[in-house]
Amino acid sequence: MRVAFLMATEGIEQVELTEPWQAVARAGGDPVLISLEPGRVQAFDHLDKADTFPVDLTVDEAAAEDFDALVLPGGVANPDALRLNTAAVALVRGFFAQGKPVAAICHAPWTLVEADVLRGRTLTSWPSLRTDITNAGGDWVDEPVHVCSAAPGTLVTSRKPDDLPDFCAALLAELKG
């Protein structure tokens, strides 16, 4: 299984990238880092710079049909930058159009709001996104992880880094399912 991890060039909450990435790799999957520009992405531990990670593909080189699923790590700046990039938003829409699983944690649903893919779906996120999600037609719930199987495709969402064990388990269940 080939899993796309889409993120901006900086502002990614490191643990929201590394934990799901390692879970996919341990399950025998092939995680691929996709970003807005080639080179490396800068992750953060809250507001402090953390590690950098190499970009495998840019959004202009990536296509939803080449992957089995999409993971959107959070961080406040990361999804805010992604939702301003038309190629990134189009890539996200492509995963939904093809009915492929999408997983988003913390602030990552901001990108889903911009992609206009939340109507009729139930999801969770960092609490400050509740109004944005409901205004975009989604139903927000306060749960550690929520799996919404409304067509097309499955959406796995989680609220925060503390929920990563549940998020990773739900993501892997969808990938195996």
Residue found by looking up tokens 């805010």 in the block: 80
Residue 106 annotated to the active site: yes
Is pLDDT of 3 > 90? yes
Using one digit for the tens of pLDDT, what is the confidence trace for 135-145?
Answer: 999 999 999 99
Interior/surface letters 26-41, b for 16+ CB within 10 angstroms, e for the rest: eeebebbbbbbeeeeb
With bands split at pLDDT 50, 70 and 90, how would you rate the model's confidence at 164?
Answer: very high
Is pLDDT of 124 > 90? yes
Q: Which of 107, 146, 148, 168 is catalytic?
A: 107
With bands split at pLDDT 50, 70 and 90, how would you rate the model's confidence at 171?
Answer: very high
Q: Which of 46, 106, 146, 148 is catalytic?
A: 106
Q: Which domains does the chain have, with CATH numbers?
A: 2-176 (3.40.50.880)
- 129's torsion region: left (phi>0), alpha (psi -120 to 50) or beta? alpha
Prediction pTM value? 0.98
Is residue 124 a contact partner of residue 132, using CB atoms and an 8 Å limit? no
pLDDT at 177: 81
Is residue 127 a contact partner of residue 114, using CB atoms and an 8 Å limit? no
Is residue 117 a contact partner of residue 100, using CB atoms and an 8 Å limit? no
First CA to last CA across the chain, in angstroms?
A: 12
Is pLDDT of 159 > 90? yes
Residue 46 annotated to the active site: no
Give Cα 24 to chain centroid, integer Å. Answer: 13
75 backbone dihedrals φ, ψ, rounded to 5°: 105, 140
Using one digit for the tens of pLDDT, what is the confidence trace for 45-95?
Answer: 999 999 999 999 999 999 999 999 999 999 999 999 999 999 999 999 999
Using one digit for the tens of pLDDT, what is the confidence trace for 25-42?
Answer: 999 999 999 999 999 999
> Which two tokens mark 57?
């593909």
